[in-house]
Amino acid sequence: MKNGIHPESYRFVVFKDMSNGHTFLSRSTAASKETIKWEDGNEYPLYKLEISSMSHPFYTGKQNLIDTAGRIDKFMKRYNKK
């Protein structure tokens, strides 16, 4: 590995999957303004994820459609004319 190209500020960060609420603790340099109290009683920075391996269809084996803006319905109305 080359010296001086990797960040030095690794710390523990809690990642939260917003689609199902799953949280996990890992080391990261991800910036966050929010904090959360973890199971060990310590407070860690919180980084919110849209999707993780706990909710991704490839890893779960299920097809999940998360439609927050109604885009799928608009598409179906527009192109599903019979």
CB atoms within 10 A of CB 66: 10
**pLDDT of 82 above 60:** no
**pLDDT of 58 above 70:** no
Looking at residue 41, its amino acid is G
- Written as six digits, the tokens of 45 are 């920075």
The better pLDDT of the pair 45, 66 is held by 45
> So what's the pLDDT on residue 41?
94
* CB-based contact 18:48 (threshold 8 Å): yes
Rounded Cα distance, 49 and 63, in Å: 18
Domain ranges of the chain: 11-79
Taking only the tens place, the pLDDT of each residue in 29-53 is 998 999 999 999 999 999 998 887 7
